[in-house]
Amino acid sequence: MIRYALSCEHDHEFEGWFGASDDFDSQQARGLLECPMCGSKDVRKAIMAPAVSGTKAQSGPPGPTHEMMMQAAQAVRRHVEDNFDYVGDAFAAEARAMHEGKSEERGIYGEASGAEVQKLREDGVPVAPLPQGPPTKREIN
């Protein structure tokens, strides 16, 4: 796996993991990459300092900060799943209807394409990505 520091046209910084060095270029050319903060498809590699290891290789489990962040993200996801209405792929339409006062205001979650999310944001509809859940056994195997 290769980790790249990435940024979008709005200078949001994030990282991406790719199976091979050509995967970034391939995914970018197919329009599959987008900023997780604003949905922009204008994603580029940022300047990144190389990882230089000393005489002792660093390997092992992620540190306590990483674990704490993962637990916090999962707590947010559980709260949303337990308290919000799942609307599936009708998310963009339902979020827009609530924003325009055509539907009752409530917490919702579901699926939307990057283009749908970008359009919602451009129109002032507040949306945010839901942290990814833990992988299922099917995804691991």
Q: What is the 3-state secondary structure (H, E, C) of the chain?
A: CEEEEEEECCCCEEEEEECCHHHHHHHHHCCCCCCCCCCCCCEEECCCCCCCCCCCCCCCCCCHHHHHHHHHHHHHHHHHHHHCEECHHHHHHHHHHHHCCCCCCCCEECCCCHHHHHHHHHCCCCCCCCCCCCCCHHHHC
Q: Where exactly are the structural domains of the chain?
A: 2-45, 64-135
Residue 52, pLDDT above cutoff 70: no
Percent of the chain with pLDDT over 90: 36
What's the whole-model pTM score? 0.53
Separation of alpha carbons 97 and 104, rounded Å: 8
Sign, Cα dihedral of 140, 5, 8, 42: negative
Flag whether pLDDT at 76 surpasses 80.
yes
Query: What digits encode the pLDDT tens for the residues 6-47?
Result: 998 988 888 888 888 788 888 888 888 888 888 889 999 887
Kindly report the average pLDDT of the chain as a whole number. Answer: 84
